[in-house]
Amino acid sequence: MITPFIIPFIIAMFLAINMGGSGTAPAFSAAYGARVLRRGLIPGLFGVAVFIGAIVGGKETAKTIGKGILNPEMMTFVVVSIILFSVSISLLIANILGIPQSTSQATVLSVVAPAVYFNSLNTHKLFYEILPTWLIMPIASFVISFLIGKYIYKPIRKRGYTMSKQLNESHILKGLIIAMSLYVAFSIGTNNVANAVGPLANLSFNTLSISESDYVYILILSTLIIAPCFGIGSSLFGYKVVKNTGKEIVLFGKIEAVIISFISASLLLIASLIKGIPTSLVQLNVAAIIGIGTAKLGFRNIFRKTEVNKFFIMWLIAPLIAFGISFLLTYIFFQFDFVSHITSISK
């Protein structure tokens, strides 16, 4: 019984490493693009902030992933392994290409696949809570950042205040940018760590026959194992993704970096704490970047940039890859009764 129970944890750690690479971009691309933080410091700061966020506010989102989409009784070690493996592959592809990807959307669709196969999909949760949040939040991020950029930041910039050397070299402003980056990483902890922790916690709950009152302790233990892997992923994949997001979309000013970080992190935190909805911080962050960029350069100019187009294409493809792999593996394992064979070997 020990071996199949450990396998999903190993896959989850691999997934967390990939999520760490992808999540580094929305957390620190603004600070890196504004040249206020060396890249060597990013993985450590990122890992610590993610861990704190997961412990403090990750419970509700973990419950949504673990219990809210698929019947929790079906979260066996085979199903959980398939879900986590499918997400890992889709994110690995995105990280190799250096494109920040939505771990939440890939994870949700990986859970949806076996739910569809077993005819056990919570359609109300998916269609009335999760999908509307995915649609509304990036639009809100774009609109808020665009309005701030056009009606607050741009007029101030025209008067020359943002070009002031005294302001831009201020240690207070630089500290504020770093604080906003940590705030983003904290928000990632409240939301994205649940992508790996949620299925693991429910698997542990089912396998070990733990009482409902002890479920929260399983969540905490799973978080203690998974969250540090985000820092490892940041070290391995973070630089390329940060570079693409922070310097190849639009050249940031320091004040813009604060605006981008605050808007995206706040919206994600709202989704995590109020409804526990797994949400794409990457998309919130890039939407805020595009909003500021549109206010500065115009709508047509910002969308001519190849990196923006590449992001949208990968955002569509990666979750579909996760769904396809998850559904295919679920079909193979259960249609040909490989599950019984694996279970007999593990005993």
Q: CA-CA distance, 338 to 113, in Å (whole number)?
A: 18
pLDDT tops 70 at residue 342? no
Over residues 332-336, the mean pLDDT reads 87
pLDDT tops 60 at residue 321? yes
pLDDT tops 80 at residue 113? yes
Confidence label for 227 from pLDDT (cuts 50, 70 and 90): confident
Q: For residue 70, which phi and psi values (nearest 5 degrees)? A: -110, 145
Q: Which of 330, 347, 336 is nearest to 112 (CA)?
A: 330
Handedness of CA 335, 338, 344, 347 (dihedral sign): negative
Q: pLDDT at position 306, please?
A: 44
- Are the beta carbons of 191 and 271 closer than 8 angstroms? yes
- Are the beta carbons of 89 and 321 closer than 8 angstroms? yes
Q: CA-CA distance, 68 to 206, in Å (whole number)?
A: 15
Confidence label for 247 from pLDDT (cuts 50, 70 and 90): low
Confidence label for 283 from pLDDT (cuts 50, 70 and 90): confident
pLDDT tops 60 at residue 346? no
User: Mean pLDDT for the chain?
Assistant: 83
Q: CA-CA distance, 234 to 192, in Å (whole number)?
A: 14
Confidence label for 326 from pLDDT (cuts 50, 70 and 90): very high
Q: pLDDT at position 31, please?
A: 74
For residues 274 and 345, which has the higher predicted lDDT (pLDDT)? 274
Q: pLDDT at position 345, please?
A: 46
CB atoms closer than 10 angstroms to residue 277 = 24
Look at the pTM and tell me if it is higher than 0.75.
yes
